C-alpha cells in the first residue's frame, strides 16, 4: 500500500531507543501469554519468495520490534508522573486513546499523577493553561464524545521550554497524540532529552485521519472516516440522479494522499470519478476531466465526483498567476472544480445541476466507531507498556497485523501515498470505470 523503498534502510533504522535496562517486575499480570518477549519482532515484508531468498543467504530480514507489555519494566510506577498531550486537527478516537493511556497507567501500573496538558504543545510551554489531573473518573465516558477533552492546537514549542515544564511536573513519560508535525516535534524533544541526558521517555501515538503516515498501515479514525464519507457520497448520488444532468461533487479529507477518497469510492458503488493528489489530471482537453464528465452525462445524465482536498493543487499556482489582477482566490479544490464545471457546461450551453458537499468537519468531530475504538484502546495500552518499559523516541504502529514500535526518525516528517500502480488504485479504476489517465 505504500511506496516506500525498504531497501534504502538497514536493520539499525528499525531499532527503537531505550532509556536503559528494565529492572522492575511488571505489576500487571502473571498470566501465561500476557507478556511479549523482548526479542519478538515482526517482519516488514511478508512476500514468501523475497523473504526466503534474503534469509537463505543468512541475512536477517528487516523487522519491527513487537509492541506489548514487558515482564521487566524500567520505571517504578509508584515513583513517576506521566503526561499526555494531543495536537493538530480533530480525528475520531483521540479521547479513546487518552482514556486508554489513563486507565492503563492508573489501574494496571498504579501511576499516581497523570497530567493532561491542554491545547497541544502550548500546554507544555510557559504560556500554558494549567493541565488537568487525569483519573479513571475524569476519563469516564469521554470516548463517547468526539474531539479531544485536552483540546488541541497547531505548531511546535521549543524543546528546552517543553523539558522545563515536564521537569516541573515530574513527568517521566510523555505521550504525544498527533500527526506528522506533532511527531517531528516529539522527535526534536527526544533529541534534546538525549542531549541533556535525561530520564524521560517520549512515546508517540500516530494520529492522521488521512492514514498517510509512513511505516504505519492503519491509523485510528480512518475507518470511521470512510464509514461516514459513505453518507456524503450517497447524498451526492441522490441529488445528482434526481435532476437532469445532475452532478454531485464530494470533497473528502486527504491533503497529501487519497486514502479516504479511494477507499470511500471502493466502498460505495456510485462514484464515477475519484480524484486524488497522487494521480494528476487535466481539466481541459479531449482527455480532460470535463470532457469525460460530459461523456458520462450524455450516457446516464448524472455523475458523482469524489475529490481529495489535496488533489489538483497544481491548478492553484497557475490560476493565481492568471488572476493576479485578482478576483477570486481559490483555496478549496472542491469549490474550484465546481466553478470550472459550471463554466464549461455554460459554454457548451448544456444545463447541469451541480451540488457540492464538504463533510470534513462533520466527520473529524465524530466519536470513533467500535472498530476504531477498540484499536485506540490497544494503541493506548501498548503506548503505556512501551513507556513503562523505558522505550523512547518511538510511535506505536500497526504492521502486518501486529502492533509494533516504529522509531521516530523513520516516521517523523514522512508520509505515505497511494501507489498509482498498486492494488488499491487499480481497484478504484475498476470500480469507477474512470480512465486511467486524464491528462
- Give 198 or 231: the residue with its C-beta nearer to a copy of itself: 231
- Give 13 or 145: the residue with its C-beta nearer to a copy of itself: 145
In angstroms, rounded to a whole number, what is the distance separating the alpha carbons of residues 357 and 342? 15
Nearest to 250 by CA among 211, 196, 306, 294: 306
222's grid cell: 480512518
Q: Least distance from C-beta 153 to a copy of itself, angstroms?
A: 6
Q: Least distance from C-beta 137 to a copy of itself, angstroms?
A: 12
Q: Which of 17, 210, 212, 372 is catalytic?
A: 210
DSSP string, 207-250: --TT--BTT-S--TTHHHHHHHHHHHHHHHHHHHHTSTTEEEEE
- Give 8 or 436: the residue with its C-beta nearer to a copy of itself: 436
- Give 18 or 153: the residue with its C-beta nearer to a copy of itself: 153
Q: Least distance from C-beta 168 to a copy of itself, angstroms?
A: 21
CA distances for 61 relative to 57, 83, 198, angstroms = 10, 36, 33
In angstroms, rounded to a whole number, what is the distance separating the alpha carbons of residues 180 and 189? 14
Active site residue 332: no
- Give 31 or 299: the residue with its C-beta nearer to a copy of itself: 31
In angstroms, rounded to a whole number, what is the distance separating the alpha carbons of residues 365 and 93? 9
The single residue listed with the C-alpha cell 517521566 is: 172
In angstroms, rounded to a whole number, what is the distance separating the alpha carbons of residues 241 and 302? 5
- Give 145 or 160: the residue with its C-beta nearer to a copy of itself: 145
Residues 409 and 104 sit within 8 Å (Cβ to Cβ): no
Q: Least distance from C-beta 208 to a copy of itself, angstroms?
A: 17
78's grid cell: 509508584
Q: Least distance from C-beta 195 to a copy of itself, angstroms?
A: 31
CA distances for 186 relative to 73, 77, 152, 398, 406, angstroms = 22, 23, 15, 19, 13
Q: Least distance from C-beta 422 to a copy of itself, angstroms?
A: 6
413's grid cell: 516528517
* Positions marked catalytic: 210
Amino acid at each position: 500500500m505504500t511506496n516506500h523503498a525498504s531497501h534504502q534502510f538497514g536493520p539499525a533504522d528499525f531499532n527503537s531507543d531505550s532509556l536503559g535496562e528494565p529492572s522492575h517486575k511488571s505489576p500487571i499480570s502473571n498470566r501465561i501469554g500476557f507478556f511479549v518477549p523482548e526479542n519478538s519482532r515482526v517482519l516488514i515484508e511478508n512476500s514468501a519468495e523475497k523473504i526466503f531468498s534474503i534469509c537463505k543467504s543468512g541475512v536477517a530480514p528487516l523487522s519491527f520490534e513487537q509492541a506489548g507489555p514487558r515482564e521487566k519494566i524500567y520505571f517504578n510506577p509508584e515513583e513517576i508522573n506521566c503526561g499526555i498531550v494531543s495536537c493538530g486537527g480533530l480525528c475520531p478516537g483521540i479521547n479513546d486513546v487518552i482514556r486508554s493511556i489513563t486507565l492503563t497507567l492508573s489501574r494496571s501500573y498504579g501511576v499516581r499523577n497523570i497530567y493532561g496538558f491542554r491545547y497541544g504543545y502550548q500546554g507544555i510551554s510557559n504560556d500554558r493553561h494549567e493541565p488537568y489531573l487525569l483519573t479513571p473518573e475524569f476519563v469516564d465516558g469521554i470516548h463517547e464524545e468526539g474531539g479531544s477533552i485536552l483540546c488541541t492546537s497547531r505548531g511546535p514549542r521549543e524543546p528546552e521550554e517543553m523539558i522545563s515544564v515536564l521537569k516541573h511536573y515530574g513527568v517521566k513519560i510523555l505521550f504525544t497524540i498527533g500527526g506528522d508535525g506533532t511527531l517531528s516535534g516529539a522527535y526534536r524533544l527526544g533529541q534534546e532529552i538525549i542531549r541533556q541526558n535525561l530520564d524521560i521517555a517520549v512515546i508517540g501515538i500516530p494520529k492522521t485521519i488521512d492514514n498517510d503516515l509512513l511505516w504505519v498501515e492503519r491509523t485510528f479514525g480512518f475507518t470511521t472516516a470512510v464509514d461516514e464519507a459513505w453518507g456524503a457520497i450517497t447524498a451526492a448520488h441522490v441529488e445528482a440522479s434526481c435532476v437532469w444532468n445532475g452532478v454531485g461533487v464530494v470533497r473528502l479529507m486527504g491533503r497529501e494522499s487519497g486514502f479516504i477518497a479511494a477507499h470511500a469510492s471502493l466502498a460505495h458503488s456510485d462514484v464515477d470519478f475519484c480524484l486524488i493528489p497522487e494521480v494528476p489530471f487535466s481539466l481541459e482537453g479531449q482527455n480532460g476531466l470535463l470532457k469525460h464528465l460530459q461523456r458520462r452525462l450524455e450516457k446516464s445524465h448524472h455523475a458523482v465526483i469524489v475529490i481529495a482536498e489535496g488533489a489538483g493543487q497544481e491548478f492553484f499556482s497557475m490560476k493565481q498567476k492568471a488572476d493576479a489582477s485578482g478576483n477570486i482566490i481559490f483555496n478549496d479544490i472542491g469549490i474550484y472544480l465546481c466553478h470550472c464545471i459550471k463554466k464549461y457546461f455554460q459554454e457548451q450551453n448544456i444545463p447541469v445541476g451541480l451540488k457540492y458537499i464538504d463533510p470534513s468537519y462533520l466527520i473529524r468531530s465524530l466519536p470513533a466507531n467500535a472498530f476504531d475504538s477498540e484499536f485506540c484502546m490497544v494503541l493506548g495500552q501498548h503506548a503505556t507498556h512501551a513507556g513503562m518499559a523505558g522505550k523512547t523516541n518511538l510511535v506505536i504502529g500497526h504492521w502486518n497485523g501486529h502492533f509494533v514500535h516504529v522509531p521516530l526518525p523513520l516516521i517523523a516528517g514522512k508520509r505515505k501515498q497511494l501507489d498509482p500502480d498498486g492494488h488499491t488504485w487499480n481497484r478504484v479504476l475498476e470500480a469507477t470505470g474512470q480512465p486511467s489517465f486524464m491528462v
